[in-house]
Structure 1
Amino acid sequence: MGFRKKNKSPPVLSHEFVIQNHADMVSCLAMIILLGLMFEVTAKFAIMFITVQYNIISLNTLDPVNLYQYGPKDVATVFFYLLIAVILHALIQEYILDKMNRRLHLSKTKHSKFNESGQLAAFYLFSFVWGSSILTAEDFASNPTFLWEGYPHTHMVFQVKFFYICQIAYWLHAIPELYFQKVRKEDIPRQLYYICLYVVHITGAYGKIVCVFNNFCPLQTG
């Protein structure tokens, strides 16, 4: 999609131009944010997009533990990883799904559904592996009571927060992808419905269910 070279370029800033080159444009925007780290004046703003925010230190144990809260600055972080999701979406489409489509010779209807299913399958597999590693690393798998002890939880470890950020970013990126992928009008309501459900539920969970630590442990801002 975005990375493919075309023999004939459409007019600049036309709909077709944006659709064909959206991944390149998004890559440039992400690169500008990354370049902001190189300059002292812009570094404090760029780092807000790239790294997770609201770091705190728990003094509840012998060894201080880095935990994280949620807040409005997370919007910037979600935006940056939304850009990354758009780029990865284009790469999967370009180098995997499009090649498979050409071999299978699918109709337009099946082609659209195949692309949708392929993208979701890749994301679900990645989420399953990452989520399973978090459950194992944080002992949720061996002791499920950690999931509800001390509820409501207000602090989370880095992996949990970053997982939520990436999940929210992915489902938000799926909204502009409806345009970039030229999804048929009759398919948009169905896809938009489950995308919005994911966004609402994951964002709601992120705001209320974060990680398993005592709410009243002494904390210091990091």
Structure 2
Amino acid sequence: MALRRKGRSPAFFSHEFFIQNHVDIMSVLIACFLLAFMFETTANGALMFLTVQHNITILPEEEGEEPVTVYEYGVRDCATVFFYTTVAIVLHGMVQEHILDEEFTTQPSSLWEGYPHNTMSGSVKFFFICQLAYWVHALPELHFQKTKKEDLSRLLLHITLYLLHISAAYLLNLTRLGFVLLVVHYFVELIFHVCRIFFLIDEDYQRGFDVWAVLFVLGRLMTLTMSVLTIGFGLARSDNRRLDIATGNFNTLPIRVCCLTVVCLGQAWMMWKFINFQLRRWREYILWHANKKKQLAPRPKRELGCENGSPRIGGAIVNGKRGKSL
């Protein structure tokens, strides 16, 4: 894989230094915003950069209707624009450097050609180190956060799957394939969490989740396609199909079968959870829609009855005789 090599490091705070390191600088800014959420004194200030500001709640005029949230523009919109501009710069830089410049889209064969991929760029190595560190730290956090027993098995399985996939890609020198698949997966996860933020702001917001559902299915299909193409076909037709730990070559049939099995089972498990989630969401929507219809339906008028010896009106008995309906 032809990596883009940087020349001699330019002087600090120079124009060339900012061009070469703008993605890292923006990443540090985003990390500072996320770090601010960990402290109560700075959480409200950091929230202003992430959420939509200047909201107004309109109370319903009639009983049974839900309040409506609308928005105005204001000065605090500049903070939100600044944060998401920073995120866009980081995403653009990562896609440009690690996907477009490495020709993964125009030349998929670069995912398996030249295997074993013993070397990687510094940013890719740092990416994998951060991934491993994050998911390893999630294990003791289950104890520190006093996770409930009913949630423990689910979270352990979730963390184990991440560690298994990332470690396999890193240790078996499949970093090219692993990096691309992680970018696809995290992009879909990013869309989901952005939709959750908008949902917390406005509970009537549902359109974003429909977009995420389509991207989730496409992400699973892309993961399976690229895995089968790289491991099942590309590496299977390579000339160096042998085990050589010294050179980092793990291109053998048992290892390839194990890798494909893990990937396919993982994607199948995610699709199963996704289908159950969508069915549960659909049932909840049907139930909510039915309850809302009951609340908005007009109540039937009560018929005037005979109380304390008074006559009943409307085809009722009046003084022992059936009268005419009024």
The bucket for the TM-score relative to the shorter chain is 0.3 to 0.5
- The higher radius of gyration belongs to 2
Q: TM-score, normalised by structure 2?
A: 0.29
